[in-house]
Amino acid sequence: MHPDPPARSPRRSIVKIVAAGLIGTTIEWYDFFLYTSAAALVFNKLFFPTADPLTGTLLSFASYAIGFLARPLGGLVFGHFGDRLGRKTLLVFSLVLMGASTCLMGLLPTYATVGAAAPVLLTLLRLIQGFALGGEWGGAVLIVSEHGDDARRGFWASWPQCGAPGGNLLATAVLAVLAAVQSDATFVAWGWRIPFLISGVLMIIGLWIRLSVSESPVFLAAREKAALRGDARHVPVVEVFRDCWRQVLVTIGARMAENVAYYVLTAFILVYVTTGLGLSKTVGLDAVLIASAVHFVTIPLWGALSDRVGRKPVYLFGAVGMVGWAFGFFALMNTRSPALVVLSATIGLLLHGAMYGPQAAFFAEQFTTRVRYTGLSVGGQLSSIVAGAPAPIVAVALFEGFGGTVPVSLYLVAMCVITLIAVAAARETTRTSLHEDAVSAEPAAAR
């Protein structure tokens, strides 16, 4: 007789799940943020050419914002089927959709070649990107949250959150390398296509990793329980708006400051450094690159801290800190010192991490298993329409209209106030057991 193979240790299992979530979200955010950087650097020239550089940038960011419009729809569709069919299947599909649309962007003809068809095709692919990302985020943080233990959920679930700065880091690094080895003319002519085509290779790597992980045990237990009760045909989309609308509102409000702050710190900075301060685009790219590296490392630390002191205190610290940094950010950049520009972005993303680190566990713990993917995705992505999507556009418009950065700072402060109210109104969820929810949640008909 052959001895049974040793059982996989719980720690080894969760590390594998975390790796799959992190690598997948990093690739998807790489695709999404690559467009953001390109919108600030080249798309205004190649797809939206106008006599006024700021107007071209506004049009470019408008196409960027359209991707956000598709994110709630993606969250709704992916969330509904993720709560019905499972987390893993939908995560694989979202990765394929995102990778393919990004790769095709690298093959698009420009305005000079096909005229108005160029921005139309670019916008269509951006919509597909947004739809895919709308379903990616909720599924990635859930499959980790539902595999991890209650005591360290904040830490483990924060790792997929690192995919945002990780993807931004990767996208910015690729663009920075190209900017360093190519002339501006070469980069605008064809060099910008290389990062988009790289997405195809990254997609294959991500698929190989994601296909190797197991489905969420919490979801499987809940589905089995529902089948035994004859409640397997529930409609998550209906239930989340009927039974969990308060949690959805908390999720939307809590993301307002986090969304706006992130896109001001990583997208508007590229416009302000070049157009407002007259510095090289390399200064802005380097600032985002270094700040994103620090952001990546510290997000899990904020998540771990939320396991010890609670989700709300850490989240509130980040929002309050961002109120003050809304003005300090521009004060440091206005020195025109490259080192202080880097410092301004780094401090901003550190404060952002205090909100973003505990966010995954905090939001997942707000919803029951039967509607968790839907509630998390819909609440998270609806905030992207009113916060993330218009943030660079509003920032550029305020800067151009008022000729200064004070209105941009006040805009960020207003979003922080909304977040403070939403988080203060939410219940503290640290150490909430998702496994108990999977066993004890009653069907909608019984409620």
pLDDT, tens digit, 9 for 90 and up, residues 337-363: 999 999 999 999 999 999 999 999 999
Alpha-carbon dihedral 386, 389, 392, 394, rounded to 10 degrees: -40
User: Whole-angstrom Cα distance, residue 393 to residue 61?
Assistant: 6
Contact 239, 84 (CB under 8 A): no
Instruction: Please report the pLDDT score of residue 333 as a whole number.
Output: 93
Residue at 1 is within a domain:
no
Of 16-20, 132-136, 232-236, where does mean pLDDT reach its minimum? 232-236
Q: State in Å, rounded, how far the first CA of the chain is from the last one.
A: 52
Amino acid at 118: A
Average pLDDT over residues 62-84: 82
Instruction: Please report the pLDDT score of residue 447 as a whole number.
Output: 36
Provide the pLDDT confidence category of residue 47 given band limits of 50, 70 and 90: confident
Residue at 2 is within a domain:
no
Closest CA to 162 of 316, 68, 266, 303: 303
Residue at 226 is within a domain:
yes
Amino acid at 160: P
Cβ-based neighbours of 163, under 8 Å, separated by 6 or more: 21, 22, 23, 24, 25, 26, 27, 28, 29, 140
Convert the pLDDT of each residue in 192-228 to its tens digit: 889 889 888 888 888 888 888 878 788 888 777 777 7
Alpha-carbon dihedral 160, 166, 168, 171, rounded to 10 degrees: -130
Q: What percent of the chain has pLDDT over 90?
A: 30
Convert the pLDDT of each residue in 410-434 to its tens digit: 999 999 999 999 999 998 988 787 7
Residue 95: which CATH number? Answer: 1.20.1250.20
Contact 332, 340 (CB under 8 A): yes
Residue at 4 is within a domain:
no
Among 92-106, 161-175, 178-192, 230-244, top mean pLDDT goes to: 92-106
User: Whole-angstrom Cα distance, residue 248 to residue 260?
Assistant: 18
In which residue are the tokens 């550029």 written?
396
Instruction: Please report the pLDDT score of residue 238 as a whole number.
Output: 86
Contact 131, 70 (CB under 8 A): yes
User: Whole-angstrom Cα distance, residue 248 to residue 440?
Assistant: 22
In which residue are the tokens 């995919």 written?
163
The pTM of this model reads 0.82
Amino acid at 317: F
Residue at 3 is within a domain:
no
DSSP string, 263-294: HIIIIIHHHIIIIIS---HHHHHHHHHHHHHH
User: Whole-angstrom Cα distance, residue 264 to residue 391?
Assistant: 7
The pair of structure tokens assigned to 358 is 């505990």
224 CB neighbour count, 10 Å cutoff: 13
Residue at 6 is within a domain:
no
Convert the pLDDT of each residue in 232-278 to its tens digit: 566 788 888 888 889 999 999 999 999 999 989 988 888 899 888 88
- Is 9's pLDDT higher than 50? no
Which residues in 37-53 are b (16+ Cβ under 10 Å) and which e?
bbbbbbbbbbbbeeeee
Residue at 134 is within a domain:
yes
Instruction: Please report the pLDDT score of residue 184 as a whole number.
Output: 77
**What is the 8-class DSSP label of residue 337?**
-
Instruction: Please report the pLDDT score of residue 7 as a whole number.
Output: 42
The pair of structure tokens assigned to 395 is 């920032």
Rounded to the nearest integer, the mean pLDDT of the chain is: 84
Residue at 146 is within a domain:
yes
User: Whole-angstrom Cα distance, residue 334 to residue 345?
Assistant: 12
DSSP string, 309-321: H-HHHHHHHHHHH
Indicate the number of domains in the chain.
1
Q: Which domain holds residue 274?
A: 12-440
In which residue are the tokens 């499972």 written?
86
- Is 5's pLDDT higher than 60? no
The pair of structure tokens assigned to 129 is 């990107």
